[in-house]
Structure 1
Amino acid sequence: MVVDTFAADKRQTAAEGQTAAQPSPEQARPEEDPIHPLRFGVNYTPRHGWFHSWHDFDPARARADLDAIAGLGLDHVRVFHLWPLLQPNRTLVRTAAVDQLAHLVDLAGEAGLDVMVDGVQGHLSSFDFYPEWTRSGHHRNVFTDPEAIDAQAALLRTLGRALAGRPHLLGLQLGNELNNLVEHNPVTPDEVDHYLDTLLAAARDGLGESGGLVTHSAYDAAWYGDDHPFTPQASARKGDLTTVHPWVFSGDCARRYGPRSPQVGHLAEYGTELAKAYATDPARPVWVQETGAPEPHIPAADAPDFARATVRNAAGCAGLWGVTWWCSHDVDRSLADFPELEYTLGLFDSTGRPKPIAEALAETVADLRAAPPAPETRDTALVLDCTPGTRSVSGPGGAYFEAWMRARADGGRPAVVLAGRADDAEYLAARGIKEVVRPS
């Protein structure tokens, strides 16, 4: 098992109450801070009881999980509480549940880990978690009902105020892949914009002058789904940085091309470059916030090499904030009704033993810290010409996706540029793009 001294140094610093302040998104911009260290972390899934463990939160078990994560040399975790437990009534945020979350954040800091907190869960690993005041005879559309939006804003303000000022807090995210809820909560792109703007403002208000990142996340339909109401523009322009969740099962990518294919090995890199194309700020950072090796899409024997390739290829992107693996621990098979792939996504198995993929990730992170990669020159861009109704051309199986992957497999390092910016000389110069190519 590789144990990185970075984690030990972080634990010592945290114990002294002197965790280094994290750079703001502006400080993270590559042209202003070319030696900004990449962040490497994991999405924390409790080993005992999965997220149902919030019903009987055990600090000792949580601390053991977090110490194991820190032992891999990772520097941060993303954590999730359950919405119904935090806010069982529209006008009630439970102090005890908020205190549990704050305790977990403090335990992570003591282990040498910085923490990103997701507020509204929402959706986790194929299960939806709605408070009862949004359901049955009290049904409210969580994206469009004014009272439901106000309640979620109040929750985020409360969480922000409870967590503000902790030196190891990275920030507050609205929730995990909220666009998974659109099937039961119909919404338009304009309504999504209003929803996100309202909740982002509430999160900022909660964190106050202490600052911290304020972000939101969406699963891949936001980028590849024709007419999906969560848009690439919303992902790439709202919040302090862009989060991407490039999963190999989206568009059946791994099965379509093969688990060892260039398309799979470069998927997180591609997702990062696609996100940069939709941003109005050429220097906006991108966070690969979820990526993982789900079986059977990625067989266990291929998972270590997949992790190495994914992290190294993404690390070559200018403007990358970091990579956060999904997830820390396998779901115990004593828990029923999960999709098969959810049981094998962890770096640790359900007994807490590190898997081969954990060692591969730890070694890759250690290598990248020892010799930080210089961002790859991407002076040639492929033009992406699509409408909201043809967004799928940029996803696995789509003509644009395949053109970009061919160029990458041939040794190129293509950027992505939207058709509407392909003739904007000032914009292209800001991104370092010298040649624009339209896919044939």
Structure 2
Amino acid sequence: MNASSPQPGPPVRLGANYTPSAGWFHHWLDFEIDDIRRDFDSLAALGLDHVRVFALWPLFQPNRTLIRGRAVEQLGSVVDAAGERGLDVAVDALQGHLSSFDFVPSWLTTWHRRNMFTDTDVVEAEARYIETLAASLADRENFIGMTLGNEVNQFSDRPHPDPDTCTHEQAGRWLERLLAACARGAPGRLHTHSEYDAVWFQGGHPFTPAHAARVGDATTVHSWVFNGTAQRHGRSGAATVHHAEYLIELSRAWAEPGRPVWVQEVGAPAPLIGAEHAAEFTTATIDNALTCEDLYGITWWCSHDVSRSLADFPELEYSLGLLTADRAVKPQGRAVAEVAARLRAAGGRPGPVRRPTALLLDVGDAETAPGRTTCAPGGVFFEAWARLAGAGVRASVVLADRAADRTHLAARGVSEVLDPYDVVGP
């Protein structure tokens, strides 16, 4: 790679996390493939190229030794329906956690309480389940690959009310074991894991940036500005509209150059991002993310609004869709469609920008990152990066233990490394 002029990579994927318009993820209980086909028609009409779909774990594996064949067949029919409309599909297995609700099999709770990360029998059952799903989809051309589950790290630590605690080493072994099961089931596909932002921001959290950026076939980031970012900086502040870009660059500090980064979730949460500003936020967020090297894709959360007929969701969950529950296109849906059209006109990817300036990140040991709270909203590093972004500086991130490695800096096109305190002051 020419360090002075980053070269465009493969076409950037642009898609949506699929939330069924009828029944939300409970649609597996009353499975209607025609409803799903109509949903996929509405997404294909936006010019999207993929969806991420979610298998509710308790329904697919209701007993430790039972994986329901009918559920696996239904998943295959969902992937096929997407393919008929030109959509590729990534599949999450361990759901796990979705929109504030936990879906954990009964054989892991109450009288059968076991740790999902460390219990030998449980991990063996999880691996068998994930391999089964992967193998069932391996021959479908539009199957992207597996993600172990949605933000499963939230089960491992506070603030979960009943966490399955584990150590950093145990979390790493769990990831490696289950990703190996994905690879056995579907060799050569893109297999990943996903975490919510405690992995980047919460000191002592067992899932670490090194896990996220060095384990699996790609790094996934989930960008949500309700984490204190929009509260501190407002809906149009640099930290807010550059948040996805920030997480991409933060993750690349731990990765080797060339590792793909997937913005697997990003959305416009009300009321921090009001409905009248959702399209503007959507366009700015995606355009800023597109300036990054090694960007694999962006998958918006979510496809369709949660129906108001369903109770007890946090209020923001009812309005995150690109389309309504009646499949009407919303302003943010039109914004994504416009970006998709621009991407196609540019051959799938605009050129990434040069980032000769890097911000120095010292979190202590790179494997465990005990000082990663500096990366969170309000932290010195976070605020310094945001200040640079507001001044028009597209900064990359360099770990302290790599800041003197000229080969590493040259490979990333870095010619200047700034201390965050020099940016924000003492």
> TM class by shorter-chain length?
over 0.9
Letter matched to residue 164 of structure 2: N
Higher RCO by CA contacts (8 Å cutoff, separation 6 or greater): 2
2:220 to 226, 230, 243: 243
**In structure 1, C-alpha distance between the alignment counterparts of 2:344 and 2:8, rounded to whole Å:** 14
String of CA shifts for 1:19-58, please: whole Å, max 9, x gaps. Answer: xxxxxxxxxxxx9973511110000000001000100110
- What's the counterpart of residue 74 of structure 2? 100
SS in structure 2 of the partner of residue 249 of structure 1: helix
2:323 to 348, 352, 364: 348
**In structure 2, C-alpha distance between the alignment counterparts of 1:197 and 1:36, rounded to whole Å:** 27
- What's the counterpart of residue 216 of structure 1? 193
2:115 to 118, 137, 141: 141
**In structure 1, C-alpha distance between the alignment counterparts of 2:7 and 2:25, rounded to whole Å:** 37
Letter matched to residue 284 of structure 2: A
Give the TM-score normalised by structure 1.
0.91
**Structure 1 segments of 4+ aligned residues over 3 angstroms from their partners:** 31-35
Aligned positions of 1:4-15 closer than 5 A: none
String of CA shifts for 1:224-281, please: whole Å, max 9, x gaps. Answer: 111111100000000001000011111x2112110111111100001100000011x1
- What's the counterpart of residue 263 of structure 1? 239
String of CA shifts for 1:49-74, please: whole Å, max 9, x gaps. Answer: 10001001100000000010010000
Letter matched to residue 258 of structure 1: G
Aligned positions of 1:159-238 closer than 5 A: 159-182=133-156, 183=160, 184-208=163-187, 211-238=188-215
**In structure 2, C-alpha distance between the alignment counterparts of 1:391 and 1:334, rounded to whole Å:** 40
1:42 to 16, 30, 55: 16
1:420 to 397, 401, 424: 401
**In structure 2, C-alpha distance between the alignment counterparts of 1:32 and 1:64, rounded to whole Å:** 40
SS in structure 1 of the partner of residue 191 of structure 2: strand
Q: Residues 32 and 119 of structure 1: is their aligned pair in 2 closer, same or farther, counting only changes over 3 Å?
A: farther
- What's the counterpart of residue 26 of structure 1? none
**In structure 2, C-alpha distance between the alignment counterparts of 1:253 and 1:414, rounded to whole Å:** 18
- What's the counterpart of residue 9 of structure 1? none
CA contact (8 A) 2:7 2:352 kept: no
The answer for unaligned runs of 5 or more in structure 1 is: 1-30
**In structure 1, C-alpha distance between the alignment counterparts of 2:272 and 2:8, rounded to whole Å:** 36
1:433 maps to 2:414? yes
1:118 maps to 2:118? no
**In structure 1, C-alpha distance between the alignment counterparts of 2:306 and 2:195, rounded to whole Å:** 22
1:253 maps to 2:208? no
- What's the counterpart of residue 341 of structure 2? 366
SS in structure 1 of the partner of residue 166 of structure 2: coil
**In structure 2, C-alpha distance between the alignment counterparts of 1:35 and 1:437, rounded to whole Å:** 27
- What's the counterpart of residue 70 of structure 1? 44
String of CA shifts for 1:124-174, please: whole Å, max 9, x gaps. Answer: 110000111111111111011111100100001101110001111111111
**In structure 2, C-alpha distance between the alignment counterparts of 1:379 and 1:204, rounded to whole Å:** 37
1:401 maps to 2:377? no
CA contact (8 A) 2:9 2:294 kept: no
Q: Residues 35 and 421 of structure 1: is their aligned pair in 2 closer, same or farther, counting only changes over 3 Å?
A: closer
**In structure 1, C-alpha distance between the alignment counterparts of 2:292 and 2:374, rounded to whole Å:** 22
More deviation, 34-43/114-123: 34-43
CA contact (8 A) 1:161 1:206 kept: yes
CA contact (8 A) 2:360 2:398 kept: yes
Letter matched to residue 210 of structure 2: Q
Letter matched to residue 188 of structure 1: T
1:88 maps to 2:62? yes
String of CA shifts for 1:109-138, please: whole Å, max 9, x gaps. Answer: 001100001111111110000111111111
CA contact (8 A) 1:46 1:65 kept: yes
Deviation of 1:349 (Å) = 1.1
CA contact (8 A) 2:6 2:354 kept: no
**In structure 2, C-alpha distance between the alignment counterparts of 1:35 and 1:424, rounded to whole Å:** 25
SS in structure 1 of the partner of residue 115 of structure 2: coil
CA contact (8 A) 1:43 1:324 kept: yes
SS in structure 2 of the partner of residue 270 of structure 1: helix
**In structure 2, C-alpha distance between the alignment counterparts of 1:35 and 1:238, rounded to whole Å:** 21
Letter matched to residue 197 of structure 1: E
- What's the counterpart of residue 356 of structure 2? 379
**In structure 1, C-alpha distance between the alignment counterparts of 2:287 and 2:89, rounded to whole Å:** 23
CA contact (8 A) 1:260 1:302 kept: no
Deviation of 1:107 (Å) = 0.4
Letter matched to residue 173 of structure 2: H
Aligned residues: 406
**In structure 2, C-alpha distance between the alignment counterparts of 1:207 and 1:142, rounded to whole Å:** 23
1:60 maps to 2:34? yes
**In structure 1, C-alpha distance between the alignment counterparts of 2:319 and 2:6, rounded to whole Å:** 40
Letter matched to residue 420 of structure 1: D
Letter matched to residue 291 of structure 2: G
The answer for unaligned runs of 5 or more in structure 2 is: 422-426
- What's the counterpart of residue 289 of structure 2? 314
Letter matched to residue 358 of structure 1: G
Letter matched to residue 50 of structure 1: W
Give the TM-score normalised by structure 2.
0.93
String of CA shifts for 1:374-396, please: whole Å, max 9, x gaps. Answer: 11001111101123332111111
Letter matched to residue 35 of structure 2: R
